[in-house]
């Protein structure tokens, strides 16, 4: 009985502290310094709480938002995450600021400003700023540094890409290095075996095969194609200004 009373007092004390409006300023989503999760919703406290401190996920943990350290198998966040996440998989529905380290993958549906490292995939539905390392890196807009077997960016990109295949559906401002480089529009440098710019570009293409529909700059390779150039096809070196 004594242990039960002490446990009840401890829980009441924690809840009272975490609901203190003057201290946390948020009644709808109370704050806890510690969350321990077995598999959501089997966790203490529940997933409508904010974790400002430490969350430990034995299997799957879920919180409204997290600021601090997140450890365990799968960590999920309904809103934003700020801090360090280490696990098998990390999933954030809102914005993410900090570091994500995952054995399998990191997924963020909001804006990301972070260092992301994973064994298989880094997936960002919105814009990403920072550095990524994984087999597959997928973003909307991108600014920073990428290392991967496949780097795929759907929006405007600024920075350096190093990978087996680099794909930019919009435009790249910077450098892309890898066996296969594809940028719809290029303002910078492509270095690889096959470099392709299907729309327009300005800069340098260095590879075995270089091709661009509209291009201002220099191509160096075994076969060079500039669709709007004075000499559309030329070996070794081709240029258009």
* pLDDT tens digits along 112-155: 999 999 999 999 999 999 999 999 999 999 999 999 999 999 99
Residue 190 CB contacts under 8 Å (≥ 6 apart), including other chains: 175, 176, 181, 183, 197, 203, 204, 205, 206, 207, 210
Looking at residue 9, its pLDDT comes to 29
Q: For residue range 75-105, what is the model confidence (pLDDT) as tens digits? A: 999 999 999 999 999 999 999 999 999 999 9
The string of pLDDT tens digits covering residues 180-192 is 999 999 999 999 9
Spatial separation of the C-alpha atoms in residues 241 and 239, rounded to whole Å: 7
Distance of alpha carbon 160 from alpha carbon 140, whole angstroms: 15
Strand (E) positions, the chain?
31-39, 42-44, 50-63, 65-77, 81-92, 96-108, 112-118, 121-124, 128-139, 142-153, 157-177, 180-191, 194-206, 209-226, 233-240
Average pLDDT over residues 66-82: 97
Question: What average pLDDT does the structure give for the chain?
Answer: 90
Residues 6 or more apart whose CB falls under 8 angstroms from that of 3 comprise none
pLDDT band (50, 70, 90) for residue 8: very low
Cβ contact 151:139 at 8 Å: no
Given a cut of 50, whether residue 1 has pLDDT beyond it is no
Residue 58's region, left for phi above 0, alpha for psi from -120 to 50, else beta, is: alpha
Q: What pLDDT sits at residue 126?
A: 95
What band does 27 get if pLDDT is binned at 50, 70 and 90? low
**Residue 181 backbone zone (phi > 0: left; psi -120 to 50: alpha; other: beta):** beta
- Looking at residue 28, what is its pLDDT? 81
pLDDT of residue 24: 39
SS (H, E, C) 100-160: EEEEEEEEECCCEEEEEEECCEEEECCCEEEEEEEEEEEECCEEEEEEEEEEEECCCEEEE
Q: What pLDDT sits at residue 99?
A: 98
Whole-angstrom CA distances from 133 to 44, 89, 97, 121, 224 are: 33, 15, 16, 9, 31
In this prediction, residues 37-54 reach a mean pLDDT of 95
């Amino acid at each position: 009985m004594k242990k039960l009373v002490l446990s009840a007092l401890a829980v009441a004390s924690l809840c009272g502290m975490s609901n203190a409006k003057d201290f946390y300023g948020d009644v709808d989503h109370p704050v806890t310094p510690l969350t321990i999760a077995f598999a959501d919703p089997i966790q203490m406290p529940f997933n409508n709480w904010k974790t400002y401190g430490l969350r430990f996920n034995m299997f799957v943990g879920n919180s409204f938002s997290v600021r601090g350290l997140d450890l365990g198998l799968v960590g999920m966040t309904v809103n934003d995450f700020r801090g360090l996440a280490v696990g098998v998989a990390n999933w954030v529905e809102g914005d993410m600021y900090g570091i994500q380290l995952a054995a399998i993958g990191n997924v963020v549906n909001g804006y990301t400003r972070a260092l992301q490292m994973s064994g298989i995939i880094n997936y960002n539905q919105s814009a990403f700023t920072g550095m990524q390392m994984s087999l597959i890196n997928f973003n909307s807009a991108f600014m920073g540094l990428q290392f991967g077997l496949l780097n795929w960016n759907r929006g405007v990109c600024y920075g350096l890409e190093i990978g087996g295949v680099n794909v930019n559906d919009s435009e790249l401002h910077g450098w892309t290095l890898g066996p296969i480089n594809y940028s719809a529009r290029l303002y910078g440098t492509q270095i690889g075996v096959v470099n392709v710019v299907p729309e327009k570009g300005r800069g340098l293409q260095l590879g075995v095969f270089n091709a661009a529909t509209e291009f201002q700059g220099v191509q160096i390779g075994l076969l060079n194609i500039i669709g709007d150039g004075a000499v559309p096809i030329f070996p070794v070196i081709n240029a258009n200004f």
